[in-house]
Structure formats: C-alpha cells, structure tokens
Amino acid sequence: MGAVASVKARLGWKGLKASEYVDDGFIFLSTPNIKGPKIDFYSVDHIPAQRYYESPEIMLQNGDVLIAKDGSTLGIANVVRSLPAPATVNSSIAVIRPVEKLNSVYCFYFLASHYIQSTIGRMKDGMGVPHLFQADLRKFTVLLPPELEQVAIAEFLDRQTSRIGALIEKKERLITLLEEKRAALITRAVTKGLDPNARLKDSGILWLGAIPANWETRRLKYLSNFITSGSRGWADHYSDDGAIFLRIGNLTREGIDLDLSDIQRVQPPPGAEGERTSVNSGDLLVSITADIGSVAVVPDNLAPGFVNQHLALVRLRSDLVSPRFVGYALRAASLQAQFRLALYGGTKQGLGLDDVANLLVTLPPLSEQARIVTNIDSAVRRIKAAVSKTREQIAKFQEYRTALISAAVTGKIDVRGSGAEQAQFDKCSQIGEH
C-alpha cells in the first residue's frame, strides 16, 4: 500500500476536547460517519478553524479512502466521492490517498475485500485494544491490475453493491413493518380485545381512551402478592456455574420473553436476601433504571434464578390475572405512556417500587385474558419467524456482497460485458427468494 498511496492519521489531536466543538465550523468525521454506503457529512461534529488547519495532511480531498483504525469498528472503510465542504477526520480514522496507479474506488473495495478484512481480523484477535497503526496499513499488499481494469472493477462493484444495498434496505423496511404490525396487534388486543364489535366505555384515563365495557383498569399493587427488586453488591457472588442472574439485558423490546443468549451466573448468599430476590415461573420483571418500559415474564422451565438491582420483581396473583396478559398489556403503546409519566419528563433517573406498584393495566375477565394471550402468542410467533427469515436473507446478501467484492478485486470474475451483470443479478434474485 505504501508504494501507491500515502497514509496519514492523527493521534490524540493535541488533547482536543468535545467542549471545543462549534456549531458553524469544519466537518469533523468520526467512525459512525463512514459506516454507511456513503459517507455522512451532515450528522457530524464541527471544529474551529485553528484546529482544522493544525493538520493539513488529513484535510480531506475527493478520492481519499478512509478506514477505521481503532476499536470494534476496526477495518470499516469508505471513499470520499464528493466533498460538500472542508472536512477532516478524528483520531480513529486513517486517510489513505492514492498517489499513482491506484484508483480510489478500487482501493476502497480492495480494503473491503475478504482478504484485507480477514487480515485485520487476525490482527484484531491478538490485541488487547484493537488498533491499526499507519505502518500496518502501509504494509498491506494491494493487487494492482491495469488502471483501466481498476476503473472497470470499481464501476462494476458500484452497480452491483448498489443493487444489493437496495435489496437489503427493502428487507430492513420489511422488518420495520413487521415489528410495527406486532406492536399494533399487541396494543389492539390488550386494550380493545378480540371482538371488533365489542361495546366500549371511556376508561377515564386520558392516555388510554376507551376500553371494552366489561373490562376494568387495576394497579399492579392490587394484582400482586408482593413487589421487590434485586440486591446491590452481588458482584462478589458471580460464578461460572451458579444460578442465573437476570439483568436488564435479558429483557427485550421485541416481546415479553426473556433473552437468555447472554447470562450471568451467581452463587447467592444464604438467608432471606437470596430468597427474597429469587424468581418463580410467572413472575413479572420490569426494568427500573435503564431502558425503562421493558418487561418480561419468567417462563415455567427457567432454572433457579435471581434478579439484580436494576429489575423489579412482581409476583402476580394467579387467581386474578394471567402473567403473560399483564406483560403484554404493559408492552402496549398506550400503556407505555405511564412509564414516561412516572419519570416526570425525564427528571428522574429511574423508577421506584412505588412507581411500579402504581402501574395500571387493562383487565378483562380471566378467561378472556387466556384467549387474548393465546391469540397474541400465536401471532407473535409468526411475526418472529418472518423477521428471523428476513434477517437471514439480509445476512446472505451481506455475505454475497463481501464475496462479490473479493472475487472482483482478485480477478476471479470477469467484470466486462453484460453477461457478468446478468449473472450477478440472477444470484441476487435467488438469495431474495429463499
């Protein structure tokens, strides 16, 4: 790389602080700005003139290739195709400027290829804090076809990756629509019931509106045996093989089931404190310090588990309510409003147990709760399966894009002629169908 491009970056920016940012200054790119298909020059910080002119070597030009050289985004690259205003980069980005025989867009795609990304991956695995030095970047070997062929490869990949990107965007929009459908379905079922012709009455609550005439609203404290939260200072009890220690990360915004893909375990202390914070099947969990409004219901088959101090544990009365109905009710968009109200416009740092106890839920007869839960569970499973399938398709598109880039920049496919274009179009279509 060093033979055909210069590599420049700044380390630390002489103690530049966020307090120096200005509203009307020079564009200051960070790694989130280069993660998309195009560089985002607008959702950026700005620095004053004296800071910008400190480093003329990284004042951006059209054709510069940018690569993230620090942290989890290590290796992400982009190319400056059109510079809307004077700009520079922060210390997490290196500027690669081709000087001869190297086309900028081809260089960008070469950096995005599996060959370079796997090289960076191997380097990352051996680091405490992942970092690419300028010397590392200069040592990268670049395959260098004739300049006209580089241009042909770059134009081919522009067209093909644009097409793949549009397909990915379409799939992502489908996921958004499915998630909106799930949210609307839950809200409708737990606030209006399953009968579209049911007679309604005014709930008397402004943010809730009308509910079925045979329903009521009740506060959690009247539907539960007790409400508590986890204990502080259990870090000393963490263990590799103890009981499950439930945290806010185990609650999701996608439903009311626990996400146990990442769990912490503890060996709880003996005595009442451990017993108080242990969970039973059907317990309702509510986040009270972060991601306010997330809820989950403890399933029947959960191994022994405990909650940490960031979760409220509500033990519901099975003679009055279905735990899953209450969980879905608190996930409903209209009932989520009370979480925001409990935070007093954002001035509180979290919810107290009194706030949790006073949460309102809509309450049909117990038999109707069961029917509604069955209906929602079935619909949520179908939507979850559709979302999962769509995400798999997105992953395949992304894998295919990486493979296509690698094949093109290493000469494994001939990018000339309409035949190459049609072959890649057919492959994209096959991915979208499965």
Q: What residue spans define the domains of the chain?
A: 1-144, 145-210+364-434, 216-360
Residues near 294 by beta carbon (within 8 Å), at least 6 away in sequence:
248, 251, 252, 253, 286, 287
Q: At what angle do helices 418-433 and 366-409 cross, to 10 degrees?
A: 160
Cα 71 from chain centroid? 17
Q: At what angle do helices 104-112 and 147-192 cross, to 10 degrees?
A: 60
Domain 1-144: assigned CATH number:
3.90.220.20
Alpha-carbon distance of 106 to 152, in angstroms, equals 9
The pTM of this model reads: 0.83
Residue 227's pLDDT is 96
pLDDT string in tens for the chain (434-residue length): 888 999 999 887 888 999 999 999 999 999 999 998 999 999 999 999 999 999 999 999 999 999 999 878 899 999 999 999 999 999 999 999 998 899 999 999 999 999 899 888 887 655 566 788 888 899 999 999 999 999 999 999 999 999 999 999 999 999 999 999 999 999 999 999 999 999 999 999 988 999 999 999 999 999 999 999 988 878 778 888 889 999 999 998 888 999 999 989 988 877 666 788 899 999 999 999 988 989 999 999 887 899 999 999 999 999 999 999 999 999 998 899 898 888 865 567 789 999 999 999 999 999 999 999 999 999 999 999 999 999 999 999 999 999 999 999 999 998 876 566 666 666 666 776 66
Residue 364's pLDDT is 97
Domain 145-210+364-434: assigned CATH number:
1.10.287.1120
Domain 216-360: assigned CATH number:
3.90.220.20
Residue 419's pLDDT is 63
Q: Hey, do 1-144 and 216-360 end up sharing a CATH topology, with the first three levels equal?
A: yes
